[in-house]
């Protein structure tokens, strides 16, 4: 065996891993493209843009000695709005798309023809929804962090808040996508109704029995913990 052949053999596992990652990304992109035109996602993009513009103006107008804390408060408030309005709209749109049997059949058939297994299709549908939700929530918040830095917020504050936003958006996107996939699989005729029941039902029950956790409460707690360091540095 020649040295070049031996070198190529050593690279084979890495090349296979890269090919597997590329195939996974291609499958996720396929399902992501299939639901980009849903009403819920169009409304989510429009609202996300509105949240960014509104809070960017507020940050630009912030003045005073405590401007850093004011900017941090605006970013945190924007993240709340993005989570529970943009995230909700994007999840409803994704749930409806996941439940549409015609769309699922055509895209799944195309993926199967390319050699993908059933488990890969389920994983790709969920990750495509998670990716879309995370971007719609996280990207406007990250841009607001940049606006905050341009308006005088410290780099140490930004270096603490930006990673926190990324972690939070990814966790929220993956969780909402998993619930959306579950609702679409369990009740394809009424997926959005089941989704709302799963997300809002525990919240309503917790008003009577405070010990019962709900989805909004858990992520409000997560957001507060992740942004705590940034609040101290603001």
Per-residue pLDDT tens over the stretch 15-72: 666 665 666 666 666 566 555 566 778 889 999 999 999 999 999 999 888 999 999 9
Q: What is the pTM of this model?
A: 0.81
The yes-or-no verdict on residue 102 having pLDDT over 50 is no
What's the mean pLDDT in 172-183?
92
Query: What is the pLDDT, as a whole number, of residue 68?
Result: 92
DSSP for the chain, please give it: --HHHHHHHHHHHHHHHHHHHHHHHHHHHHHHHHTTTSHHHHHHHHHHHHHHHHHHHHHHT--STTHHHHHHHHHHHHHHHIIIIIHHHHHHHHHHHHH-HHHHHHHHHHHHHTT--HHHHHHHHHHHHHHHHHHHHHHHHHHHHHHHHHTT--HHHHHHHHHHHHHHHHHHHHHHHHHHHHHHHH-TTSHHHHHHHHHHHHHHHHHHSTTS--HHHHHHHHHHHHHHHHHHH-
| pLDDT for position 143 | 97
State pLDDT tens for residues 185-208.
888 888 889 898 888 888 888 888
Q: Tell me the Ramachandran region of residue 154: left when phi exceeds 0, alpha when psi lies from -120 to 50, beta otherwise.
A: beta
What are the structure tokens assigned to 201, written together? 């039902």
User: In this predicted structure, which of 9-18, 77-86, 197-206 has the lowest mean pLDDT?
Assistant: 9-18
Of the two residues 110 and 95, the one the predictor is more confident about is: 95
What is the pLDDT averaged over residues 80-96? Answer: 89
Q: Rounded distance, CA 34 to CA 100, Å? A: 11
Residue with tokens 């020649």: 2
Least confident of 8-12, 24-28, 78-82: 8-12
Report residue 41 as tokens. 């996602």
């Amino acid at each position: 065996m020649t040295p070049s052949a031996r070198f190529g053999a050593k690279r084979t596992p890495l090349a296979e891993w890269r090919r597997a990652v590329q195939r996974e990304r291609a499958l996720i992109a396929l399902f992501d493209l299939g639901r980009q035109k849903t009403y819920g996602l169009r409304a989510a993009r429009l609202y996300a843009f509105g949240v960014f513009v509104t809070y960017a103006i507020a940050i630009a107008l912030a003045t005073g000695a405590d401007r850093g804390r004011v900017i941090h408060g605006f970013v945190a408030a924007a993240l709340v709005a993005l989570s529970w309005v943009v995230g909700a709209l994007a999840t409803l749109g994704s749930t409806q798309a996941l439940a549409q049997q015609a769309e699922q059949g055509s895209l799944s058939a195309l993926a199967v023809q390319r050699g993908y297994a059933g488990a890969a299709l389920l994983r790709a549908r969920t990750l495509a929804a998670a990716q879309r939700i995370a971007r719609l929530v996280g990207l406007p918040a990250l841009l607001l962090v940049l606006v905050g830095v341009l308006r005088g917020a410290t780099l140490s504050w930004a270096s603490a808040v930006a990673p926190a936003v990324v972690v939070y958006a990814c966790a929220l996107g993956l969780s909402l996508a998993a619930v959306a996939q579950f609702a679409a699989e369990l009740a394809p005729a009424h997926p959005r109704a089941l989704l709302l029941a799963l997300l809002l039902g525990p919240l309503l029950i917790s008003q009577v029995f405070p010990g019962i956790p709900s989805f909004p409460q858990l992520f409000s707690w997560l957001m507060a913990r992740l942004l705590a360091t940034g609040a101290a540095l603001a």
